[in-house]
Amino acid sequence: MQMPRFEVPEALVMEILCKVPVKSLLRFNCLCKYWCSSFQTPRFISKHYHNNLKNNLNPVLQRFDANANIPYFSQLSVEKDENFLVKQNICFPFFMHDTPYVWGARHGLFCLHSPCMDDTEVAIWNPSGREFKILPPSSVQRLTYPGLTCDFVHFDCGAFEFDSKTDDYKIIRFVTLSFVDSECETSSGDGMSQVELYSLKCDSWKEIPSPNYRPFDLYFSNNYLDGFFFANINGEHSL
């Protein structure tokens, strides 16, 4: 007599999988396309991080090889008696000769941006899962003014955060536009600012309303928390 087939609901499967170690998840990536795509969702990443918080201590050190002129990161061991020995060194194929800015870290994910101000390249890195995601270019329309030509776009700074209300990872980025007079080709003075917001769920950028201010001193810290962005503007701390 054939035993009846019992199927476990996918929701229950995901609840089980978000409790297993990262090494097991890496193996499961090859078993099922649905599982593989589910592991990339903000909701699963957040739940897995919190479920494994005690085992998720995974220090990462940003370093630079002066001889090879290559930036890289090192994962350190926290095992007993290993005294933070280097487990592995990681180089980035998309930041070969420039040390990327770290725009923040949430739930084991790092947001990296090219240090070149005219470079739009942004990546989300999961060192535990050894995965990288290059974000798509922005489709936001740039500001235009009669008689002026935009001659340079500066991607100044940004920050990375998890929005618990929408279960989504978001990146806020400040863009400064420099203009020149179309006839005499001279600078028009101070640039204009735009603010872009990236959603991992939608995998896209959009423009959001903002005052025409350019924050600074944000390259090595994360100032985006619970939907609020904290910035240093003209020497004053502003919200």
> Phi and psi of 173, rounded to 5°?
-135, 135
Both tokens assigned to 1: 């007599």
Predicted local distance difference test score (pLDDT) of residue 24? 73
pTM for the whole structure: 0.66
Nearest to residue 52, comparing CAs of 24, 93, 87, 92? Answer: 24
Residue showing tokens 């947001």: 111
Spell out the alpha helix ranges (H) of 101-149: none
> Phi and psi of 14, rounded to 5°?
-65, -35
Question: Please, which pLDDT band fits residue 79 given cuts at 50, 70 and 90?
Answer: low
Residue showing tokens 């990236």: 198
The dihedral over CA atoms of 138, 113, 220, 167, expressed in degrees to the nearest 10, equals: 60
Q: Higher model confidence: residue 187 or residue 167?
A: 167
Q: Provide the greatest CA pair distance for the chain.
A: 90
Q: Give the tens place of pLDDT for each residue, 150-164.
A: 777 777 778 888 888
Instruction: Give the whole-angstrom CA distance, residue 230 versus residue 224.
Output: 6
Predicted local distance difference test score (pLDDT) of residue 236? 47
Q: What length is written for the chain?
A: 239
pLDDT of residue 183 exceeding 80, the answer is: no
Q: Is residue 45 a contact partner of residue 109, using CB atoms and an 8 Å limit?
A: yes
Given phi > 0 = left and psi -120 to 50 = alpha, else beta, which region is 58? beta
